[in-house]
């Protein structure tokens, strides 16, 4: 496994619609492993292949729901939202490809996603709340859409410098 470079906005790959995966061979397996490693190294909860300069419909998510001792890991290939709830909620989002910027985004509260696992087997995932938000954010990446395109408000993270020798 290797940590890959995460592209930073306005890199053009981030605005490219990713291509469907047809080959579930060794290169895809390496990509998925590297994406998990890269996401963890950057302290993220999700990552889409275009963010590591690969124009394929692949995403990874690692998120612990309800204070679970062990986070759930998802590698999803060729995902499609097949259901979005009419109920929405606003939430704060950030992005590894847009460091230091956050925004409030309105998204459906519950979703159903269909796709394939890393080996090509069909998968259906029902998600709500924060997990649903993560999947929607990453699927947007596969379509060349960034959270700043949907945000009702954005802001820059304020960093307060710490004086040397203090603390």
List 27, 37, 72, 138, catalytic entry: 138
To the query of whether residue 138 is one of the catalytic residues in this protein, the response is: yes
> In the structure encoding, which two tokens stand for residue 156, read together?
């820059």
The DSSP code sequence of 54-70 is --BSEEEEEE--TT-SS
Q: Are 77 and 28 in contact (CB under 8 A)?
A: yes
Whether the CB-CB separation of 34 and 52 falls below 8 Å is answered with yes
- Residue 135's H or E segment, with its range, is helix 129-142
User: Which tokens hold the place of 153?
Assistant: 């408000």
Query: Strand (E) positions, the chain?
Result: 46-48, 58-63, 72-84, 88-93, 101-108, 110-116, 122-128, 151-156
Residue bearing tokens 């700043």: 148
Q: Which residues are catalytic?
A: 138
């Amino acid at each position: 496994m290797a940590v890959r470079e995460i592209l930073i906005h306005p890199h053009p790959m981030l605005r490219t619609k990713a291509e469907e995966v047809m080959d579930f061979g060794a290169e895809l397996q390496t990509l998925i492993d590297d994406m998990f490693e890269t996401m963890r190294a950057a302290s993220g909860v999700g990552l889409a292949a275009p963010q590591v300069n690969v124009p394929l419909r692949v995403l990874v998510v690692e998120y612990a729901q309800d204070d679970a001792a062990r986070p759930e890991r998802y590698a999803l290939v060729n995902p499609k939202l097949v259901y979005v709830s009419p109920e929405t909620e606003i939430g704060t989002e950030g992005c590894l490809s847009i460091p230091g910027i956050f925004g409030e985004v309105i998204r459906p509260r519950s979703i159903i996603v269909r796709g394939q696992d890393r080996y090509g087997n069909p998968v259906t995932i029902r998600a709500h709340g924060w997990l649903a938000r993560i999947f929607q954010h990453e699927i947007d990446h596969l379509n060349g859409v960034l959270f700043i395109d949907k945000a009702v408000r954005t802001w820059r993270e304020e960093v307060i410098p710490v004086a040397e020798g203090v603390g």
